[in-house]
Amino acid sequence: GAGAEWWRGCAIYQIYPRSFQDSGEDGVGDLPGVTARLPYVASLGVDAIWLSPFFMSPMADMGYDVSDYCAVDPLFGTLADFDALVAEAHRLGMKVIIDQVLSHCSDQHVWFRESRSSRDNPKADWYVWADPKPDGNPPNNWLSVFGGPAWEWDSTRRQYYLHNFLASQPDLNFHNPEVRAALLDTVRFWLDRGVDGFRLDTVNYYFHDAALRPNPPKAPGGGGDVPDTNPYGYQQHVHDKNQPENLGFLREFRALLDQYDDRAAVGEVGDGNGALTIVAAYTGGGDKLHMCYTFDLLAPAFSAAHVAQCISEFESSVVDGWVCWAFSNHDVQRHATRWAGEGRTPDAVARFSIGLIACLRGSICLYQGEELGLPEADIAFEDLRDPYGIRFWPAFKGRDGCRTPMVWDGAAPHGGFSQARPWLPVPPAHLERAVDVQQADAGSILARYREVLSFRKAKPALVGGAIEIVGQTDQVLAFLREADGERLLCVFNFSADPVAWTLPAALGPVEALAFPGSRAALDGDTLTLQGLDGFCGRVA
């Protein structure tokens, strides 16, 4: 309600519009399709949806290359369709968070067309242009996340421009106040249309070092601050991201949001070690972002020690900031597959992980299809659409394996996603996990998601309480959550084998709660957990 910090501890459901529901016949999902499925989303018990980009775009990076920030791409519908979507979400009691890709835009945006037309046009300085070195090479050694140098030669201006992602995604020059004002105008456009919040794409890349100092090198696998996935080289990203000026812009951005009631923003901090300390900086003080997420739990690491480290790193660096945890999204392998192995099945991982994320301190982001326990799809090279995957196949197969369409009806063609051949194929193995199949089964993964989310929502200690780690072994992580005088003990067994764990004596008596799906047994001070089991109990 008004004034309440709805974002603190909320559950966000990420929708990738291209793959949610096609209401037309082109095999691509769209906004009316999303609207038609919102009652299902609300039935999960989430508080908000995050819509991946639906803006005008040549779709070189599936919409993360925006050519008009204030228009809906015809592939997805119209502004009227968007308004209808927001109205329906609000009717169902859900907030709407949209994706703002402010760091870069498409090379087809009119701003960039003008900027590249000459060295002295009014927008000449809206992007990051630099002269070549005397030998013709790029001005420095910065690398693009998507491979190769972060500089592209432009033969008209006879200069290079910066792109941290595709060459068709030129980086906007945040040092120019006109650029910042123009971007904030686009944010205002959507605020006025009634959106409740924003997911800020690559928020750590907004500013660059104006002196263009080279990044220091890093040995492959040699540690350093950023584990670099760029097969073209390794470097520490010191001067091309996380610049101190970012904080000033985030304050400008927040001041705009605060002119409206109850709006919130979540930033994407794609970084290596230390990302959670950046989250602390970007969310502390109450005058910047409300929350951020990192890739710490979107990574392959799956262990009690890793989750404990993430909790500790965040809790020790953060005074008053807030984190949003995610196990899956449209950029990484689905976690049911990523964390399977060593006796862990994808199904068991899915059931375990919703319990775990529901008990973590922070808001939580769920990615469409994870509530069905969807495994990563195996996409043939000929079917790939992600430019990142096409470039690096087979060393890196790209991000299409997590972007295949939702499966609604196990008996319908393409799982009920579309009448037409979908833009990415629906894996046959996904059909038996379709929504209609799981709705009919009280013991399904989908049912588990609903039960766990409802369990969490009813417990202020889980939604917003403090956290303290009280036990950690090779297999087990135990922590306390506390709010309003209620203390909850949460214990998780990350191994596929049963394990007995002794409650700390200092805790006192604990009463087991009906934590959905738990197979744990508490006997005196001994808690026996089955493989990939969770427990939640009330401390007297």
Binding residues (CB under 6 A) for ligand TEU: these are: 61, 64, 101, 145, 165, 201-202, 270, 330-332, 399
Taking the least distance from each CB to ligand TEU, the nearer of 332 and 437 is 332
CB 290 within 8 A of CB 264: yes
* Least distance CB 388 / ligand TEU (angstroms): 7
Taking the least distance from each CB to ligand TEU, the nearer of 159 and 169 is 169
CB 130 within 8 A of CB 139: yes
Taking the least distance from each CB to ligand TEU, the nearer of 165 and 206 is 165
Strands 534-539 and 486-493: antiparallel
* Least distance CB 409 / ligand TEU (angstroms): 28
Between CA 456 and CA 104 the distance in angstroms is 37
Query: What one-letter code names the amino acid at 3?
Result: G
The closest residue (CB) to ligand TEU is: 270
Taking the least distance from each CB to ligand TEU, the nearer of 206 and 492 is 206
* Least distance CB 306 / ligand TEU (angstroms): 18
* Least distance CB 161 / ligand TEU (angstroms): 16
Between CA 433 and CA 132 the distance in angstroms is 54
**Tokens 């299809």 sit on residue:** 369
Q: Look up residue 317 and give its two tokens.
A: 């660096």
Catalytic residues: 201, 268
Between CA 512 and CA 535 the distance in angstroms is 8
Taking the least distance from each CB to ligand TEU, the nearer of 267 and 270 is 270
Closest alpha carbon to 205 in 61, 99, 65, 103: 103
Taking the least distance from each CB to ligand TEU, the nearer of 61 and 73 is 61
* Least distance CB 126 / ligand TEU (angstroms): 18
* Least distance CB 482 / ligand TEU (angstroms): 34
**Tokens 């169902």 sit on residue:** 92
Q: Look up residue 67 and give its two tokens.
A: 């050519």
DSSP 83-146: HHHHHHHHHTT-EEEEEE--SB--TTSHHHHHHTT-SSSTTTTSB-EEPPPTTS--SS--B-TT
CB 280 within 8 A of CB 321: yes
